[in-house]
Structures are given as structure tokens and as C-alpha cells.
Amino acid sequence: MNNSNGFLLVVSGPSGAGKGTICNALLEKYPEEYALSISVTSRAPRGMEVDGKEYFFKTLEEFEEMIRLDLLLEHARYVNNYYGTPRQWVEEKLQEGVNVILEIDYQGGFQVSRKIPNVLMIFIMPPDLEELKNRLVFRGTESEEQILKRLQKAEEEIKMAEQYDYIIINEDVEKSVEMLHNIVLHEKMKLTGE
């Protein structure tokens, strides 16, 4: 990475911790400075999700073909489905000087940080697990079995939080957005002296 490149931000956190809301609010507030990578997944669309907006939805076979052709920067399996980050788009944006957000799990996050220098690893923590459960149930898009699996996964993910560069406890979206933006400004200053 040279100094005019954007930062690659890995934003992880348990499902329901509010990382999607934070990233969208950050993009809305600073549209010139950030871009969100759209992942590829083999899972079925949920609720109102649209192909090419939340995800690129692929069959298992299509996904495996993308792995084989090395089109993904990273990929991971999460609760019976594959998720991955398209490589080319991310690399182009970084070269344009835009900070690219990857909203991905820790398996993918650590893969990326081994491949690309100066990745910023940020973990979004829910204020408490009970609250997380409420948010998942309130979302109403998963079956009870899926919710249980996601809660188990959440506990597993929270154990990884200490290996991240920063942890943001999401008590208030607006404040979390500013924290995230300040982290990027601070890291850029450390790198460039600007």
C-alpha cells in the first residue's frame, strides 16, 4: 500500500450487533471517502434483499468456481453457507484512494490481514448478549434454529474480539460512526504524518 491508497477496513461483529447499520450510516455521512464491498454468498436472499445490493447471490457451484478462478480476496463458511469478497473491485477502489469496508467475519478478516498490509481490523460489540438476542428476534427474518446457531456463532466471534485492532461498543449508532471515522483519520495520520 502506498500513502495515497485507501485503507481496507475489516468490520466484524456478531450478527445483530449493528455493524450493517453503522457501515451504512458511515457511507451516507462520508460518501466520497468510503465504499462498501458487496460480498458474494451462497445463502438465499433474506426478506427484501436484492441481488447486487446486499450481496451477489450465487449457487454453491458458482461460488466454488469463483474460488477456483481466484476471484475472491477471501472466503469463509458461516452457518452452512459460503461468503466471500470479490478481489478486483476492492483492489481498484483502494488504488483510487477510497477506504474500503469489508463487513465480514473473523475467518475472512484474518485471511485478508495476512494478504494486505495495513488492514484495520475493527470489531463491533453489542452492549450485551441479551440485547443481541432481542435484536435478532426483533428482526424476525430467521427461524428459531437459525437464531440459536447465530447466537452460538456470536459467542465464538466475541472470543476473537481481542485480536482486533479496535473494539467499538455499539451503544449509539451516531457515536459508533464517529468513532470509526476517527480511527481511520488517526491511522492515516500515523501513516502519512498528515
List contacts with ligand 5GP (CB under 6 A).
Answer: 15, 39, 43, 74, 76, 78, 83-85, 103-105, 107-108
Query: Given the complex with ligand 5GP, which of 39 and 170 has the nearer CB atom?
Result: 39
**Nearest position to ligand 5GP, beta carbon:** 108
Distance of CA 90 to the CA centre of its chain: 13
Query: Side chain identity at 47, as an amino acid letter?
Result: G
Q: Considering the complex, what minimum distance in angstroms separates the CB of residue 128 from ligand 5GP?
A: 18
Cβ nearer to ligand 5GP, comparing 68 with 190: 68
Minimum Å gap between C-beta 190 and ligand 5GP is 26
Nearest one of 106, 117, 50, 102 to 72, comparing CA atoms? 102
Q: Strands 39-41 and 81-86: what pairing?
A: antiparallel
Residue 181, C-alpha cell as written in the block: 471515522
Q: Which C-beta is closer to ligand 5GP: that of 39 or that of 99? A: 39
CB of 156 to ligand 5GP, least distance (A): 11
The three cell numbers locating residue 35 = 465504499
**Cβ 87 to ligand 5GP, closest distance in Å?**
11
Q: How far is the CB of 15 from ligand 5GP (least distance, A)?
A: 5
Cα–Cα distances (Å) from 104 to 2, 75, 138, 190, 192, in that order, read 24, 9, 22, 25, 27
Nearer to ligand 5GP, 76 or 119 (CB): 76
Q: Do residues 170 and 22 make contact, with C-beta atoms less than 8 angstroms apart? A: yes
Comparison of 24 and 191: residue with beta carbon closer to ligand 5GP: 24
Interacting residues of 118 by C-beta distance below 8 A, sequence separation 6+:
1, 7, 8, 187, 191
